[in-house]
Structure 1
Amino acid sequence: MSRYQTLSLFLVLAALWGAAFVAISAGLSHLPPILFAALRYDIAGLLMLGYAAAVADWRPRDRAGWWQVLVGAGLLIAAYHAFLFVGQLHTTAAAAAIVVSLSPVLSTGFARALVPTDALSPVGLVGVVVGLVGVAIVVRPDPGSLLAADAVAKGLVFCAALAFALGSVLTRRIDADLAIETMEAWSMLGGAAMLHLVSLALGEPIVPTDWIHPEAIGALAYLAVGASAVGFLIYFELLERLGAVEINMVSYVAPIVAAVVGWLYLGEVVDTAALVGFGVIVVGFLLVKRRAIRRELGQVRSREASE
């Protein structure tokens, strides 16, 4: 695959995942949030399981594999999407995407905290703090109105980013001989089951007639097929070709897509504070990942020199 094809896939993935935040906002006009998230992964999980059965062992074969699936289902799917979908009820798609873009910074923080021998350097710690400052700028917590709907919503999205970051670290720490496609498939199905249980416990209304609205069907189809099934297939391909550091940059292109599509489709406007906060989060990421980025750039130069 040429560099241009790789770049094209990277931009497609950023577009798919950035527009997903807009699809969530659109679908929330017709579906209760937890049930909406559960239905998304009912469909996506079955599609991914079919793909996993075609390219790998279709199910975990040992206890470690099932533990990895359980962590993925609970944190990467259920907790992340419950917080995200509920949070997006009262905040814009772009703001949600910006807060979620902190996940790679938080993942590094969790990784270092769980492995004391691999502690963050002083510059890395500054990077984590800078990233958190960026989120604070986006959220803009006012001591006089901490329970305002917008502040609470962005706080929930931040909890989503925390859940995703912790889940991504814990799933990598479990020593399981399990294909990533299989882990994702079963995590999606397990997470969907957890979300259905939460939806029932909260008493969310089940009104199928609301689901047949064209916008609801389009949002659900896009999230399940486009952003989840197709998106993760592209992600697997790019992860193998680019590595974890470069693929993390998708998190910083997706908010731009979310802002543009949210403005075009939903009429959402991105304010100055959100833009400044996003820039600060990117700086935090660069500080935390500076060594890995230098290594990646060095490898790119070496490949170019050998061609």
Structure 2
Amino acid sequence: MSPKHGLLALVVMLIWGANFVVIDEGLSDVPPLLFLAMRFVLVAFPLVFFVRPPQAPWRTVVAIGAFMSLGQFSLLYLALDLGMPAGLASLVLQAQVILTIVIAAIVLREPPTGRQVVGAFLGTAGLVLVVVAHGISAPVVPVLVILCAALSWATGNVIARKAGVSSGFSLVVWSALVVPLPALGLSLVIDGSDEVGRALTHLSGVALASTAYTAIGASVIGYGIWNSLLARYPASAVVPYVLLVPVVGILAAWIVQSEVPTALEVVGGAVMLAGVAIATRATRGPRPGPTPEAPIVPSRPAGSASLPR
């Protein structure tokens, strides 16, 4: 990869890593599911009028939007609202790599390579350390909610894989349409119409800036750069950059929110990322790729079709 494009990849990692803190700050003024609806309205409109629909059946687009966007991010936002540290959330969400390998092996009958198995075991061991370390000093429920978010993301990966869909920019835009109405409806049920109305009529500058950052910065700009890099270079040259996202996320939370991870969390995180690195470099496969919050999709086993981008 050229120095220029390597720098662009680093810029995307900075955008995605800081995104967790930006979301967390915005949640101080807006209920989580309402905040999610606001974000995806901005992702979809007005781009949906200018971007061609993805070349995939509508049921597939809806399913991917339901799991990769609505399921993953509603649970992420809820976990942050419940007190999940933003930096730790950026790390634990990468459990989707391991879960994707497991689900694909069960549902699609695609046996993982030996290196993927090693990476999955190592990543799981690191994840257990992180959960135990966090549970010593804080409630473990938000961590479990983040793991459910990772499971939803992994399910979306497998759906896209089975349908042979690559998650290009058009899929990001059109699948975003799945999110706003269900998220708003759930917010009305959970938070009540009075709270939703109050939040919408008293949006702070922080909430508006956070919404713009997550939608335009993390989704539109981040994906635009990322997909262009995947079009130019092999996945093996691009995807490893995503391992920097939780590093940036933890540092950003440390600087902005004084969130200092414990020694055991650091050790567990390092072990988990080592496992993810091994799993994602298992083969020289086609282009796996991200969602706005630092996606990593493992390379396919030799002889199988590509996993989603």
TM-score by length of 2: 0.82
Give 2:33's aligned residue.
34
Give 1:304's aligned residue.
none
Q: Deviations over 1:13-72 (max 9, x none)?
A: 1011101000111011111111111111110111542552xxxxx2357xx520221112
More helix by share: 1
1:96 aligns to 2:89 (yes or no): yes
Q: Determine the C-alpha separation between the residues in 1 that align with 2:94 and 2:172.
A: 20
Cα pair distance change 1:291/1:259, threshold 3 Å = closer
Q: Secondary structure at the match of 1:285?
A: helix
Give 2:63's aligned residue.
71
Q: Secondary structure at the match of 2:30?
A: coil
User: Residue 120 of structure 2 is aligned with which of 128, 131, 134?
Assistant: 128
Alignment of 1:178-257 (within 5 A): 180-204=168-192, 205-206=195-196, 207-208=198-199, 211-257=202-248
Structure 1: which amino acid aligns with 2:183?
L
1:156 aligns to 2:145 (yes or no): yes
| Kept after mapping to 2: 8 A contact 1:138/1:273 | yes
Shift of 1:189: 1.5
Shift of 1:79: 0.4
Shift of 1:120: 1.8
| Kept after mapping to 2: 8 A contact 1:129/1:284 | yes
Instruction: Give the 4+ runs in structure 1 shifted more than 6 A.
Output: none
Q: Determine the C-alpha separation between the residues in 2 that align with 1:174 and 1:224.
A: 26
Shift of 1:245: 4.4
| Kept after mapping to 1: 8 A contact 2:72/2:152 | yes
User: Residue 287 of structure 1 is aligned with which of 269, 278, 282?
Assistant: 278
| Kept after mapping to 2: 8 A contact 1:15/1:254 | yes
Shift of 1:88: 1.0
1:107 aligns to 2:121 (yes or no): no
Q: Secondary structure at the match of 1:74?
A: helix
| Kept after mapping to 1: 8 A contact 2:17/2:90 | yes
Q: Determine the C-alpha separation between the residues in 1 that align with 2:250 and 2:222.
A: 19
Q: Determine the C-alpha separation between the residues in 1 that align with 2:218 and 2:175.
A: 16
Gaps of 5+ in 1: 53-57, 297-307
Give 2:161's aligned residue.
172
Task: Quote the RMSD (CA, aligned, Å).
Answer: 2.7
Q: Determine the C-alpha separation between the residues in 2 that align with 1:91 and 1:294.
A: 34
Alignment of 1:18-57 (within 5 A): 18-50=17-49, 52=51
| Kept after mapping to 1: 8 A contact 2:113/2:282 | no
Q: Secondary structure at the match of 2:187?
A: helix
Shift of 1:101: 2.0
Q: Which moved more, 1:260-269 or 1:103-112?
A: 103-112
Cα pair distance change 1:43/1:240, threshold 3 Å = same
* Number of matched pairs: 283
Structure 1: which amino acid aligns with 2:252?
V
Cα pair distance change 1:224/1:213, threshold 3 Å = same
